[in-house]
Structure 1
Amino acid sequence: MNVAGRVDALADGLAAGGELTDPAWRAALHAVPRHLFVPPVAWADPSDEPGYAIDRERDRSAWCDAAYSDRPIITQLDDGTSDVRGGKGRYSSSLSAPGAVVEFLELLDPYEGDRVLEIGTGSGWTAGLLSHRLGDGNVTSVEIDPEVHERAARNLKEAGRAPRLVLGDGTEGWAEGAPYDRVHVTAGVRDVPYAWVEQTRPGGVIVLPWMPGYEPGHKVRLTVGADGTASGRIAGGARYMMLRAQRPPAASGPGGGGDVREREATVDPRRILRAGYGLDVALAASLPDVSAVVADGDPARVWLWAAGAGAQTVGSRVRQFGDRDLWDEVEAAFFRWLKWGEPERGRFGLTVTSQGQHVWLDDPGRPVTG
């Protein structure tokens, strides 16, 4: 395998797409080759076609192609209880797509000598890239899964990198190494743990995939202030596996008991589904405890659920049950967003304090509430 040629081709594609702009990360891609972190057997997950198993022994060429494509590779299903070659089950660990990795590393923007805490070691590749850039002694990476933790240690050793690897719950950070200049989060986060803010020095930065209950996810860059809060704007889209401690509850559906209320939607649900990411953020902020799955097909379908309540739309027909009318709440948030002038995603931000978090519009002093 011509590793240098494959890395150059990958990097050129990322540069052309705007994900890769810093030559230092291009150098890191060469120094820490991605194929060293791909298991012998895994599941390739392209976004534009069905996934497929890759096996280094059976088809080395396809395995190498997957290793140097801008696509995620699933390395574990159902926390290790399902065979990854089948591709069926909950994705629980992966080697993220290079474009997503580089975008977050560039958003992190570490300086030479910065101390970095990484939440979610996974395959170990991003820890290796950070270690090449900053030095092994400046990188601490926390992983909750023992099997994934051990595999990452082997991968990093083969790549010649030795960051500090911690087996533990990333929501708690790693206080022994604090304070950090940067916190790099590689798993979806619904509620930002305040421990990460406490362990970051004032002026430091936390980057994370914010994955609220209402789809989709968003890149967020928070800066920690001298007052012990962290705040920053949404910087684009992201889709990541959730932190294990923050996985959403299982969905429940109408008809399982209780009072089911039916009506016609006030506004065509397609208008809501297709309004854009700005509305998605407004909905997530207005309904922070609500989870959703949407399918913008024919007919469009939406499933919403929260503790003690749920809703479903099929076309323009709405069914709601439990102690809240969740679709009514969605429509109310939609009309508020219209009154605000239909702001786009980049006008929203997130602030985290010791009391929790809130979304704001244009300015941290303008919180968005339900």
Structure 2
Amino acid sequence: MSVRQRIDALCCELESNGDLTEPAWRAALHAVPRHLFVPDRAWAAPYDAKGYLIDREQDAEAWMDAAYADHPVITQLDDGVTDIATGDGYYTSSLSAPGVVVDFLELLRVYEGNRVLEIGTGTGWTAALLSHRAGEGNVVSVEIDKSVLDVAADNLARAGCKPRLVLGDGAAGFPDRAPFLDRVHVTCGVSQVPYAWVEQTRPGGIIVFPWMPGLEPGHKAVLTVGRDGVAIGRFSRRGASYMMLRDQRPPGGEYGSGHRESRATAEPRRILEAGAGLDVAIAGLMPGVSATAKQGDPFEVTLWSGQSAAHVSGAEVTQYGDRSLWDELEDVFFRWIEWGSPDRTRFGLTVTPEGQHVWLDQPDNVIR
């Protein structure tokens, strides 16, 4: 199968999934072949199967199949400390799944000539796609990891693309273009939106990013900057799971004393699988709380924030520290039920110089 045929097949798949609707992005996918941004050795991470090593030298066909599959390709583990062949470690850089990438790009609503800032260069593929759409002289991409940026520069040169690449902390944006950015495209998860992104974007400009406040998966957020320097927008209907902005990775820590035993009022599985709307409500009402769930019998849940934590096994609850996180979570669940169990598209986010807050239905209806 030729590269063109592979791209056509991928585009048809993305169109059938609803990820690809605009001819301009289909043209960009052809202009910037994805395999040019896949390392010779990487870790393929299908959504519905175990991950596996792809090695161009050992099996070029399997490597090419993974390059044009709609799933991520992991390119770095543990900030480069762990050999990618192990597939065992914290994912710290990747080539994101085409469907997620294109859906985000369509949410960005890029026009030719727009000045675009990308946060997180990664392999360089999205910077190349943006360059094709907006014009490469209009795209700046910021990457914090020099080794990742160096590889991206090589990939982009091979693809014939020349966006401006900057080594730096994406949380600071790119002040040289402030306040004249038209679009900010973020390829890493954030729990707190850096105000620099808002401050550097002109009124009417759009910021898209994966909002990942601590519960998996995260949410695709689309904000528009107003004339007052406040950015407001809603969450898209689909979720997103990305690697976190480096300075917003959730910290570990030791939990406080004073453990308490109790029983869950509501069924834990019911709460943790209630849907993305509840996840947004939890993030808005319990900022800074992270959670993981473990399927099985019994169903297990772990919550943590600072020195407080809660562990639920079946209906048995153990809580540590000053906060009773499970009790708080149940309170949020029942409030969400009282609101009519709204889905995530009814929620939005506002970012101001003072911080951010979540709202339901209208920006003035802040959830507290």
TM-score by length of 2: 0.98
Once the two structures are TM-superposed, the CA of residue 298 in structure 1 deviates from its matched residue by 2.1
Q: Distance in 2 between matches of 1:258 and 1:357?
A: 31
Q: Distance in 1 between matches of 2:217 and 2:158?
A: 36
Q: Residue 12 of structure 1 aligns with which residue?
A: 12
Q: Secondary structure at the match of 1:202?
A: strand
Q: Distance in 2 between matches of 1:259 and 1:308?
A: 11
Q: Residue 190 of structure 1 aligns with which residue?
A: 191
Q: Distance in 1 between matches of 2:215 and 2:323?
A: 17
Q: Distance in 2 between matches of 1:52 and 1:251?
A: 32
Once the two structures are TM-superposed, the CA of residue 332 in structure 1 deviates from its matched residue by 0.7
Q: Residue 117 of structure 2 aligns with which residue?
A: 117
Q: Residue 308 of structure 1 aligns with which residue?
A: 307
1:337 matched to 2:336? The reply is: yes
Q: Residue 367 of structure 2 aligns with which residue?
A: 368
Q: Residue 43 of structure 2 aligns with which residue?
A: 43
Q: Distance in 1 between matches of 2:281 and 2:214?
A: 12
Q: Distance in 1 between matches of 2:338 and 2:71?
A: 39
Once the two structures are TM-superposed, the CA of residue 252 in structure 1 deviates from its matched residue by 5.0
CA contact (8 A) 1:252 1:310 kept: no
Q: Distance in 2 between matches of 1:273 and 1:150?
A: 41
Residue in structure 2 matching 1:243, options 236, 239, 245: 245
CA contact (8 A) 2:78 2:90 kept: yes
Q: Deviations over 1:306-359 (max 9, x none)?
A: 112110000000000111111010011111111111111110000000000001
Q: Distance in 2 between matches of 1:225 and 1:349?
A: 15
CA contact (8 A) 2:254 2:307 kept: no
Alignment of 1:62-81 (within 5 A): 62-81=62-81
Once the two structures are TM-superposed, the CA of residue 251 in structure 1 deviates from its matched residue by 5.9
What runs of 5+ residues in structure 2 fail to find an aligned partner? Answer: none
Once the two structures are TM-superposed, the CA of residue 205 in structure 1 deviates from its matched residue by 0.2
Q: Residue 163 of structure 1 aligns with which residue?
A: 163
1:231 matched to 2:243? The reply is: no
Q: Deviations over 1:159-180 (max 9, x none)?
A: 0000000000000000102221
Q: Residue 25 of structure 1 aligns with which residue?
A: 25
What runs of 5+ residues in structure 1 fail to find an aligned partner? Answer: none
Q: Residue 133 of structure 1 aligns with which residue?
A: 133
CA RMSD of aligned residues (A): 1.0
Q: Residue 208 of structure 1 aligns with which residue?
A: 209
Once the two structures are TM-superposed, the CA of residue 105 in structure 1 deviates from its matched residue by 0.3
Q: Distance in 2 between matches of 1:216 and 1:41?
A: 27
CA contact (8 A) 1:252 1:305 kept: no
Structure 1 residues 251 and 70, CA gap change in structure 2 (3 angstroms): farther
TM-score by length of 1: 0.97
- One-letter amino acid of the counterpart of residue 351, structure 1: T
CA contact (8 A) 2:111 2:133 kept: no
Q: Secondary structure at the match of 1:209?
A: strand
Once the two structures are TM-superposed, the CA of residue 296 in structure 1 deviates from its matched residue by 3.7
Q: Residue 352 of structure 1 aligns with which residue?
A: 351
Q: Distance in 2 between matches of 1:47 and 1:299?
A: 24
Q: Residue 273 of structure 1 aligns with which residue?
A: 272
Once the two structures are TM-superposed, the CA of residue 274 in structure 1 deviates from its matched residue by 2.1
Percent of residue pairs bearing the same amino acid type: 64
Q: Secondary structure at the match of 2:332?
A: helix
Q: Distance in 2 between matches of 1:70 and 1:215?
A: 20
Q: Distance in 1 between matches of 2:18 and 2:117?
A: 26
Q: Secondary structure at the match of 2:327?
A: helix
Q: Distance in 1 between matches of 2:253 and 2:218?
A: 18
